[in-house]
Amino acid sequence: MSELVFRDAVPGDAGRVLWFVRALAEYEKLLHEVEATEADLERSLFGTPARCQALFVEQDGIQVGFALWFYNYSTFAGRHGLYVEDVFVLPEHRGNDIGTRIFSELARRALAQGCVRMEWSVLDWNAPAIRFYRGIGARAMDDWTVQRLTGDALTAMAARG
């Protein structure tokens, strides 16, 4: 396998980030849920303050994957963590250790930033991803469930006294 190059997203890359987000959503059968625009991603990645970060993985000058993450905080640990929102490797490039290399790069960045952990979510039907995550040493947080407020419920909560 030829060398992989990790390149941080820079202003002007939001369109390519959106392309990868849409490719991931299509794989997850969730393309109908993508509302993000290039302008949204440009603001989130490069606004003041930046709310997230992204990188591209290139092989032989071709982008073969990407990752997007942000920092969260653990009050119990008293330190922040790195939350991996998206990792996606193009299907024709899977099985070449690229996913492992992406997570390794993110782990290096997490440690360099003083993070105490890395976290992410996975769809329960995505057995290949779950196998991959177990293979790199991740463990499921089965005693925790994700809770979410969106749309009308979020608006109603904001309006409460």
- The band of 1, judged by pLDDT with boundaries at 50, 70 and 90, is low
Domain that residue 93 falls in: 4-159
The catalytic site residues sit at 133
53 φ, ψ (degrees, to nearest 5)? -135, 160
Q: What per-residue confidence (pLDDT) applies to 161? A: 80
Counting the structural domains of the chain, the total is: 1
pTM of the model: 0.93
Predicted confidence (pLDDT) per residue in 36-58, tens digit: 999 999 999 999 999 999 999 99
- The band of 2, judged by pLDDT with boundaries at 50, 70 and 90, is confident
Give the pLDDT mean for 110-120: 97
Predicted confidence (pLDDT) per residue in 123-134, tens digit: 999 999 999 999
> Residue 125: which CATH number?
3.40.630.30
DSSP character string of the chain: -PPEEEEE--TT-HHHHHHHHHHHHHHTT-GGG----HHHHHHHHHSSS---EEEEEEETTEEEEEEEEEEEEETTTTEEEEEEEEEEE-GGGTTSSHHHHHHHHHHHHHHHTT-S-EE----TT-HHHHHHHHHTT----TT-------HHHHHHHHH--
* Whether residue 112 has pLDDT greater than 80: yes
Count the Cβ atoms, other than its own, within 10 Å of residue 24. Answer: 19
Distance CA 27, CA 19 (A): 12
Residue 18 and residue 63 in contact, taking contact as beta carbons nearer than 8 Å? no
